[in-house]
Amino acid sequence: MEQHDSNVREEKNTLGSIRVADEVVRIIAGIAATEVTGVSGMSGGVVGGIAERLGRKSLAKGVKVEVGETETAIDISIIVDYGSRIPDVAANIQSAVKTSIEKMTGLKVVEVNVNVQGVAFANETSEEETRVK
């Protein structure tokens, strides 16, 4: 008896099957994006309301994926560091996410859409920290 879940990619070989959940693809994309210089954090997007910085608890925050049998498309919402050149940051994210997902899952990445939701200023966090103390 085979179960098919739209949120899981399954590949069969002579030894059995390999299943990769959509959440795994989201996490890989989120980690790859946050490792790019100029990315301050991930954003939940307009629907999520408030933009938050990426933390261990939400590795897939701001990442939406569509996963087919052999291909995937990814939408990423980010917050950039003030002073970073946005087109360069976005292109680096696209490249990093595509490489990571293709390398780790074997899926072909057909598109990576980067949505810039905000700009983080370095002095905002230091001012908040000193006001709280």
Q: Tens of pLDDT along 40-62? A: 988 874 444 443 444 444 778 89
Non-local CB neighbours of 125 within 8 Å, separated by 6+ positions: none
Where residue 2 falls among pLDDT bands split at 50, 70, 90?
A: very low
Instruction: Give the pLDDT of residue 48.
Output: 46
Other Cβ atoms less than 10 A from the Cβ of 36: the count is 21
Cα–Cα distance measured from residue 67 to residue 38, given in angstroms and rounded to the nearest whole number: 27
Residue 95 predicted with pLDDT over 80: yes
8-132 is classed in which CATH architecture? Answer: 2-Layer Sandwich (3.30)
Residue 20 predicted with pLDDT over 70: yes
Q: Where are the domains of the chain?
A: 8-132
Specify the pTM.
Answer: 0.75
How far CA 90 is from CA of 59, 62, 102, 133, in Å, comes to: 18, 14, 18, 36
